[in-house]
């Protein structure tokens, strides 16, 4: 059976838009906003009729490019879109440039560094360069780690508008990973406020006992798009010594900003 014809454009829509173009406008709106959105808001920001957004959303959800949030009236980007974005970000030329930035940073600070982004309610590793030391932690590209107990994760939380951050923190399980993990929501929010004020984040053995980390934001167009972090075992680097390297990490984050 032939597929049903695409309905005619509704009032306010460009008649030149194809079904693919309308789907891309919805996805672009969700990705740019970076948070779950009500269909009405998607319609307003994308310039599409609400009925069209609803119809497009059903197709995107079925294909995995969008998902319904915990509030089913809201739409968010889905795992298929994140896999597509990761594949695009890891294109040979761009990945080589990002990897070079990390490699240069590792040469300066002498410890393993990684490049991460926010993926829903967790941190996604996009790239990593290992230091040449016998004591090190290996997390493959594509790995996910928690928000509440990692330097990058807390940095992403700190960069969110307060209302959005508190809503997400309220949903996080805050699992205790070590004796130093922050498991109080109030304490985590206070930590995020301090991170926002100082401009960098630390992991004080909160994710893995014996491991410290420092992370700086990769910012473009006024938004935190990713993070660069350095981590090291306390047997080799104290937290104060790790924080002393934050300027080099920030310089790398500035260099990385044009690659996100």
The pLDDT confidence band at residue 32, using thresholds 50, 70 and 90, is confident
Can you tell me the mean pLDDT for 44-66?
A: 90
The position carrying tokens 């994308």 is: 46
Higher pLDDT, 153 or 6: 153
Residue 163 to residue 156: CA distance in whole angstroms: 14
Can you tell me the mean pLDDT for 71-95?
A: 74
**Under 8 Å between Cβ of 73 and 40:** no
Whether the pLDDT of residue 75 is over 70: the answer is yes
Angular region, 100: left φ>0, alpha ψ -120 to 50, beta rest: alpha
Please list the residues that pair with 124 across neighbouring strands. 117, 144
Can you tell me the mean pLDDT for 113-142?
A: 81
pLDDT at 135: 54
- Domain-wise residue ranges, the chain: 19-78, 90-259
pLDDT tens-digit readout, 168-226:
999 899 999 999 999 999 999 999 999 999 999 999 999 999 999 999 999 998 899 99
CATH of 90-259, one of 3.30.70.3270, 3.30.70.1230, 3.30.450.40, 3.40.50.300: 3.30.450.40
Whether the pLDDT of residue 67 is over 90: the answer is no
Give the architecture-level CATH label for domain 19-78.
Answer: Orthogonal Bundle (1.10)
pTM above 0.85, yes or no: no
């Amino acid at each position: 059976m032939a597929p049903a014809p695409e309905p005619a454009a509704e009032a306010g829509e460009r008649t030149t838009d194809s079904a693919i173009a309308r789907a891309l406008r919805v996805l672009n709106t969700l990705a740019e906003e970076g948070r779950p959105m009500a269909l009405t808001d998607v319609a307003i920001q994308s310039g599409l009729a609400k009925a069209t957004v609803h119809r497009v959303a059903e197709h995107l959800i079925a294909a995995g490019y969008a998902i319904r949030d915990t509030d089913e009236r809201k739409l968010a980007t889905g795992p298929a879109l994140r896999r597509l974005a990761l594949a695009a970000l890891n294109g040979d030329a761009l990945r080589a440039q990002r990897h070079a930035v990390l490699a240069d940073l590792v040469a300066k600070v002498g410890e393993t560094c990684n490049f991460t982004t926010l993926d829903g309610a967790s941190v996604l590793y996009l790239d990593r360069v290992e230091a040449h030391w016998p004591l090190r932690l290996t997390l493959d590209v594509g790995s996910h780690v928690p928000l509440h107990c990692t330097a990058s994760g807390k940095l992403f939380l700190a960069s969110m508008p307060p209302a959005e951050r508190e809503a997400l923190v309220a949903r996080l399980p805050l699992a205790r990973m070590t004796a130093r993990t922050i498991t109080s929501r109030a304490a985590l929010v206070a930590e995020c406020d301090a991170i926002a004020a100082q401009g960098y984040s630390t992991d004080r053995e909160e994710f893995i006992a014996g491991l410290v980390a420092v992370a700086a934001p990769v910012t473009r167009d006024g938004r935190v798009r990713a993070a660069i972090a350095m981590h090291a075992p306390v047997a080799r680097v104290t937290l104060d010594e790790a924080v002393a390297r934050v300027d080099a990490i920030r310089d790398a984050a500035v260099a990385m900003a044009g690659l996100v």
